[in-house]
Amino acid sequence: MTANGRGPAPWRRRDEKDIGGCAISGILSEEGRRFNGKAILESIATMRERSNGLGGGFAAYGIYPEQADRFALHLMFDRPAARDAVERVLPEYVRVPHEETIPTRPVRGISSPPLLHRYFVEVRTEILGEDEREEDAIVRLVMHINSAMEGAYVFSSGRNMGIFKGVGYPEEIGRFFRLDEYEGYLWLAHGRFPTNTPGWWGGAHPFGLLDWAVVHNGEISSYGVNRRYLENFGYRCTLRTDTEVIAYLFDLLLRKQRLPLQDACRVLAPPFWSQIERLPPAERQRLRTLRIVYGGALLNGPFSVLVGHGGGMIGLNDRTKLRPMSFARKDATVYVASEEAAIRRVCPSPDEVGLARGGVPVLGPRPREVSLA
């Protein structure tokens, strides 16, 4: 199906359905040191048995230093006509000083990819409404293309970062996109075992909006509630997978509504009501208010997520910790992964290693737990 569900697109999907785990991994340089994608490829390949070839992908930050002030739009197209249609719409929102085909190489296991192109763009400030920022225009553009334009899908839209994903094992996808030739200060990776949706290029992780990128292991059973909640704020969930809502919720809570990070995590994975009632009065009232005001944003179901953004990464488990997440640090580098083995593959002797607790975020630049109670 196309991103808006209106037609066949054989490069986008495979209909097999397998129930199982997913693999997630992240590496962050606290100092902003850029390094190539070989380490993240090694890390995610260690967990190959957690995937099955139905989806793999990466997010990389700091990879476009020469275009750092422009939004980098990565797009997939069914056919050249879809690209032509998008390129007629882009000037309504942005100027395009530079565009190019996303470089790839032939890789065994990767077949029938879509047309892949990237545009480095500047927002036309004259289209901004009162109190709007450039990011709001980019979000409108992304939502318009993904929901209304046949055969086109924006899968990355941040500054100085990019998402690369598709149908295949993650190490195959990494080689296909030539990630060993990029350098970034933060890398996320995902190997997908689709739980309730078919494997297709647009449905692979990460999911991104602006500089938010999300990789997810688990299942969001509150997807319907979360989707309807987000639609009240102009977001359109068109990608037929539950993880999409997480990226949009982080954008809504942190960028648009400017909640403190700790409060945003309280909204997404709050303490149980029984725990809240045992807290001191002021904290009890604050958490009650967050749960009531943002009830539609609460994530239910088993999950562990890694969220990348320009300032670092966030690791968050569901409240009962039904999916694994390990973290470690060596000197000025932070590692988070589904399995400790994936960390030790690229960092054999970390200075610190631990397990994330349910509902307690692990935040980079340092892998510290932040108490929410």
pLDDT category at 285 given cuts 50, 70, 90 is very high
Contact assessment for residue 64 and residue 71, using Cβ atoms and an 8 Å cutoff: no
Are the CB atoms for 248 and 209 separated by under 8 Å? Answer: yes
Task: Output the pTM of the full model.
Answer: 0.90
Residue 2: predicted pLDDT:
43
Active site residue 237: no
Least confident of 154-158, 161-165, 257-261: 257-261
What is the average pLDDT score of the chain? Answer: 89
Confidence of residue 368 (pLDDT cuts 50, 70, 90): very low
State the Cα angle at 136 between 134 and 140, rounded to 5°. Answer: 120
Beta strands of the chain (E only): which ranges?
23-29, 35-36, 56-61, 71-77, 94-101, 115-123, 152-156, 161-166, 183-184, 186-191, 207-209, 212-218, 303-309, 312-317, 326-330, 333-337, 352-355, 362-363, 368-369
Q: Which fold has domain 10-364?
A: Glutamine Phosphoribosylpyrophosphate, subunit 1, domain 1 (3.60.20)
pLDDT value at 14 more than 90: no
Neighbours of 197 (CB within 10 A): 17
Q: Is 23 helix (H, G, I), strand (E, B) or coil?
A: strand
Average pLDDT on 120-132 reads: 95
Q: Kindly indicate the confidence band of residue 20, based on its pLDDT and cuts at 50, 70 and 90.
A: low
Q: How many CA atoms lie within 13 A of 172 on its CB side?
A: 20
